[in-house]
């Protein structure tokens, strides 16, 4: 490609709305442009990288035995109503009507549609196992679209669905997918961790997330160096040691605590430690208000509460001030488990059972109770673990200290069990002619997010440093001065020579200053640059690797062999 003909609108200024390096660089390098919030156009250079990533995904999926197909992005509401997800998905789903008022959505994912296809066509165990995938545009009306391609409302995803006759088959398909994902992300050059994930709206039991590490990543993960435990912060089990479990059980006492509301204020007032308190938080969960009790020195994990109450994430929110007043009969800051004014469900972190003589709000403004004990003064629904894990906590598997990291989820794998085949009544006949439900798996790769994740790991202040495997082009031949006939001649010749060898090369033949050309080459991150300058006449050009920016003078007739040698390392 000749740069003089290329549509590559690079920007010198850093766009103010962009916070993340990948977002800034994608805009600056002329790879994407925003249409509206969370919706982007891929320009030629950006789209080349998307296609490279898609091809890696495609090759590895094919190699794993999965078959590519393409389903519609428009999906009828009826199928989603059959599984109950029409409501469960909530406001993240883009909904629309056709001219006959029939309801549809723009697919945020495709479990229902794939299951529907299979239930109508696959009737015998002999047709199983099946692994099918597509690379397709997905739509999700995200609450907070942000970070460029990281969290979009329209994005490209590879989604695969596996159908097996039993649990063992499903688990095997899961392992095959896991291996394929390792190959995909290795080939993209990503440094990543595989962590236990939460199954969320997908349902099912086991799931793992592939997190591309990044300092400014959206996902927090914790992991253990001593064993293989790794999980998202939301999923991670929290090991909490109760410190106030000893001593004599005392009798409940009401204490006047004027204006003492927060844990910090309480710690000072009672002259004790935060772990002596129990926090009572009120939440609206779908149609009910619930109370949740956790140790005073820890934070609530809202996702764990969702699971305990059995609601979706978007159905849970903190109760507003008015609700708190109605339920407790007091100002905010004095809620407790004893004497709530309404009969609501109370969820209690299991560790509270062992805590002795705790301090809680009295459901009366300016009052607390001390010496309160579970089972004597109050009861509730015990939940094993409701606490958000934090760095420094002990590993739930081996007891060592947990570490924390950040990254972006680029892929995940789910064991769905029979959730969707139950919901859609999808059955096949087994060896004995008995009707059985399919065991399914659902496996996603965020193709467009992967592009951003690669840039997060491969850039410097001047631009992107693409790994060869996903670089939009491999080599850029830069003619320093297009008025110099010799330079033009050598540049053109090298360009042709590389093209003829099938190497993806750009010729910077623009009538721009050398500085502009070098800046653009660094910004768009082409791995190798051949600079044809004033020594071109003597058969000497400069070779620069973007990764290190080290320059070396080489002979013009060595260019091809050096490029080929470097290219041999491509994964």
Comparing CB distances to ligand ATP, the nearer of 415 and 531 is 415
**CB nearer to ligand ATP: pick between 412 and 415:** 412
Q: Which of 412, 415, 421, 556 binds ligand ATP (CB under 6 A)?
A: 412
Q: Where are the beta strands (DSSP E) in 286-434?
A: 288-295, 316-318, 345-349, 358-361, 367-372, 381-383, 403-417, 427-429
Q: How far is CA 570 from the centre of its chain?
A: 27
Part in contact with ligand ATP (CB under 6 A); list of ranges 21-29, 149-157, 178-186, 259-267: 149-157
Total residues in contact with ligand ATP, by rule CB under 6 A: 16
What are the C-alpha distances in Å from 175 to residues 63, 64, 115, 164, 199? 14, 10, 21, 13, 17
E strands in 272-356 = 278-285, 288-295, 316-318, 345-349
Judged by CB under 6 A, the residue of 86, 104, 139, 155 near ligand ATP is: 155
**Residues within window 99-128 making contact with ligand ATP, judged by CB under 6 A:** 109
Instruction: Return the axis-axis angle of helices 559-567 and 485-500, rounded to nearest 10°.
Output: 40
Does 444 contact ligand ATP by CB under 6 A?
yes
Cβ(136)–Cβ(73) below 8 Å: yes
Residue 472 CA from chain centroid, whole number: 24
Q: In the stretch 14-53, what mask flags binding to ligand ATP with x, by CB under 6 A?
A: ----------------------------------------
152 is an interface residue for ligand ATP by CB under 6 A? yes
For the bound state, the minimum distance from the C-beta of residue 140 to ligand ATP, rounded and expressed in Å, comes to 5
Minimum Å gap between C-beta 184 and ligand ATP is 12
Site string for ligand ATP, 182-201 (x = CB under 6 A): ------------------x-
Nearest CB to ligand ATP, comparing residues 92 and 422? 92
Does residue 157 touch ligand ATP according to CB under 6 A? yes
Question: Does 463 sit near ligand ATP (CB under 6 A)?
Answer: no
Dihedrals φ, ψ of 535, to 5°?
-90, 10
The two tokens of residue 546 are 């973007």
List the alpha helices (DSSP H) in 91-192: 111-121, 167-187
Q: Kindly state whether residue 140 participates in binding ligand ATP, applying the rule CB under 6 A.
A: yes
Q: Which residues contact 553 (CB under 8 A, 6 or more apart)?
A: 535, 540, 541, 542, 543
446 binds ligand ATP (CB under 6 A): yes
- Alpha-carbon torsion, ordered 284, 143, 297, 405, to 10 deg: 150
Place of tokens 């236990």: 196
Scanning 11-19, 185-193, 253-261, 442-450 for contacts with ligand ATP by CB under 6 A, the matching segment is: 442-450
Q: Which residue is nearest to ligand ATP (CB)?
A: 446
Judged by CB under 6 A, does residue 410 bind ligand ATP?
A: yes
- Are 487 and 533 within 8 A, CB to CB? yes
Cβ atoms of residues 472 and 10 within 8 Å: no
Please identify, using beta-carbon distances, which residue of 292 and 452 lies nearer to ligand ATP: 452
For ligand ATP, which residue of 129, 411, 417, 533 counts as binding (CB under 6 A)? 411
Whole-number minimum distance, CB 485 to ligand ATP, in Å?
A: 49
- Which spans of this chain sit near ligand ATP (rule: CB under 6 A)? 109, 140, 142, 151-152, 155, 157, 200, 409-412, 444, 446, 448-449
């Amino acid at each position: 490609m000749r740069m003089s003909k290329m549509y590559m609108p690079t920007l010198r200024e850093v766009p103010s709305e962009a916070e993340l390096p990948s977002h800034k660089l994608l805009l600056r390098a002329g790879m994407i442009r925003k249409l509206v919030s969370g919706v982007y156009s891929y320009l030629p250079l950006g789209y080349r990288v998307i296609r490279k990533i898609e091809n890696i995904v495609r090759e590895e999926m094919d190699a794993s035995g999965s078959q590519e197909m393409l389903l519609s992005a428009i999906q009828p509401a009826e199928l989603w109503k059959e599984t109950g997800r029409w409501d469960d998905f909530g406001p993240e789903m883009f909904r629309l009507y056709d001219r006959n008022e029939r309801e549809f959505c723009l697919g945020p994912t495709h479990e229902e549609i794939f299951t529907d296809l299979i239930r109508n066509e696959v009737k015998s165990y002999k047709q199983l196992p099946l692994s099918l995938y597509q690379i397709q545009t997905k739509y999700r009306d995200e609450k907070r679209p942000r970070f460029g391609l990281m969290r979009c409302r329209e994005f490209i995803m590879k989604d695969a669905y596996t159908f097996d006759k039993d649990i063992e088959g499903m688990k095997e398909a899961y392992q095959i997918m896991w291996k394929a994902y390792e190959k995909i992300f290795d080939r993209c050059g990503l440094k990543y961790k595989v962590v236990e994930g939460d199954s969320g709206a997908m349902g099912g039991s086991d799931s793992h997330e592939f997190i591309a590490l990044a300092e400014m990543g959206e996902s927090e993960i914790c992991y253990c160096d001593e064993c293989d435990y790794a999980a998202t912060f939301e999923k991670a089990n929290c090991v909490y040691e109760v410190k106030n479990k000893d001593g004599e059980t005392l009798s409940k006492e009401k204490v006047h605590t004027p204006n003492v509301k927060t844990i910090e204020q309480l710690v000072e007032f009672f002259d004790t430690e935060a772990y002596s308190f129990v926090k009572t938080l009120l939440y609206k969960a779908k149609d009910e208000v619930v109370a949740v009790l956790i140790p005073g020195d820890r934070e609530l994990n809202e996702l764990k509460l969702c699971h305990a109450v059995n609601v979706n994430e978007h159905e849970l929110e903190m109760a507003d001030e008015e609700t708190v007043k109605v339920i407790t009969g007091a100002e905010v800051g004095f809620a407790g488990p004893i004497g709530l004014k309404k009969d609501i469900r109370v969820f209690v972190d299991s560790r509270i059972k062992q805590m002795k003589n705790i301090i809680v709000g009295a459901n009366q403004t300016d009052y607390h109770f001390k010496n309160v004990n579970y089972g004597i003064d109050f009861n509730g629904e015990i939940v094993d673990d409701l606490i958000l894990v934090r760095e420094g906590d002990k590993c739930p598997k081996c007891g060592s200290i947990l570490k924390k990291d950040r990254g972006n989820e680029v892929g995940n794998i789910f064991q769905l069990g029979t959730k969707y085949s139950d919901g859609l009544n999808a059955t096949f006949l087994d060896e004995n002619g008995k009707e059985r439900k399919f065991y399914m798996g659902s496996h996603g790769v965020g193709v467009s997010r992967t592009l951003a994740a690669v840039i997060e790991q491969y850039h410097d202040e001047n631009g992107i440093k693409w790994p060869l495997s996903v670089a939009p082009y491999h080599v850029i031949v830069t003619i320093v001065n297009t008025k110099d006939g010799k330079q033009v001649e050598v540049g053109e010749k090298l360009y042709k020579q590389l093209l003829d060898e099938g190497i993806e090369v750009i010729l910077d033949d623009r009538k721009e200053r050398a500085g502009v050309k070098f800046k653009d080459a660094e910004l768009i991150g082409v791995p190798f640059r051949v600079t044809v300058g004033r020594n071109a006449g003597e058969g000497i050009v400069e070779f620069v690797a973007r990764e290190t920016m080290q320059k070396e003078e080489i002979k013009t007739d060595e260019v091809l062999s050096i490029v080929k040698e470097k290219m041999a390392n491509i994964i």
